[in-house]
Amino acid sequence: MLSVVIFSKDRAMQCDVLLHSIYKHLNIDSKIVVLWTASDNKYSAGYSRLIDLHKDNVMFVRESNFYNDVLNLLDVSSHIPYTLYFADDYFMIRPFTYDHIFKEFETNEQILGLNLRMGKNIVSNYYLGNGELDIFFHKESKVDRYLIKNNNIEPIEFIGNMYRWRDKNKNTWGYSMSVVGQVYRTKDLVKLVPKLNYVINPNTFEDMLMKNALNKEFLICPDKHVIIEICLNLVNTTHVDNPHGLISTELLNDRWLEGYRIDEECFFQLKGNSKRFINVELELIK
């Protein structure tokens, strides 16, 4: 069984489309929780609509103190063997099931996490729109990927679907403990998370996890990445240089309160070899 925790701020419409993709593609028995916060009453009204639509399938917890809330959710789900964190600007594009890769993660304690953001198909970090790719992977063969860093090519060596994350420093393959799209053993989080400090939002949570990453050698990923990031806007106040699009949360929330939602079909078609998309054209439906 899997505990799925989604962090959401001011993006009820985007959280809605993520939830629909989870219903479609997550084929593992799961308990889904949305930990949400809102900047004002209009955003709060957006979550009221979201809760009405998904209350039969999802537990909603309004954030009071982010770190304490994360600890409390870990405590109540400590009996669930695996935990998957999500942010509300992600989307599942492929099925995720209890397959041979999950079983390898389950049986090998030297695998830190199952990384759904990455896949052996990934060749670029961002799709920028207008057909442009911010490419820093070079496909040399069917089994090797290369990171172009400071004009030097570093090999990404796989052992099956495992790779040594420490070899890659802090780049896309070296993100050891992301809080978006990575499955962990809940028992590992129960030991680690109470030791962290300066955790005030999902970004700082991830920073602290990475600075205190567990001493495990490998990450593992699917053959093809399962999730993508849809960088429409920015809501955090601590990592303001994160790349993002220009579709405002206020505009989307206004449309959401008018009864519109994002048609998930416009995201399902984003199945290239990039893991992040900017300047995505949205289709809204009622």
Per-residue pLDDT of the chain (286 residues; tens, 9 = 90+): 999 999 999 999 999 999 999 999 999 999 999 999 999 999 999 999 999 999 999 999 999 999 999 999 999 999 999 999 999 999 999 999 999 999 999 999 999 999 998 888 776 554 444 443 343 333 333 333 334 344 344 556 788 999 888 765 545 677 789 999 999 999 999 999 999 998 999 999 999 999 999 999 999 999 988 998 888 877 776 654 555 556 889 999 999 999 999 999 888 777 655 566 656 778 899 9
In this predicted structure, what is the pLDDT of residue 232?
80
In this predicted structure, what is the pLDDT of residue 116?
94
What the chain holds in terms of domains, given with CATH numbers, is: 2-285 (3.90.550.10)
Q: Convert the chain into a string of H (helix), E (strand) and C (coil).
A: CEEEEEEEECCHHHHHHHHHHHHHHEECCEEEEEEEECCCHHHHHHHHHHHHHHCCCEEEEECCCHHHHHHHHHHHCCCCCEEEEEECCEEECCCEECCHHHHHHHHCCCEEEEECCCCCCCCEEEEEECCEEECCEEECCCCCEEEEECCEEEEECCECCEEEHHHHCCCHHHCCCCCCCEEEEHHHHHHHHHHCCCCCCHHHHHHHHHHCCCCCCEEECCCCCCEEEECCCCCCCCCCCCCCCCCCHHHHHHHHHCCCEECCHHHHCCCCCEEEECCCCCCEEC
Which pTM value belongs to this model?
0.87
In this predicted structure, what is the pLDDT of residue 172?
67
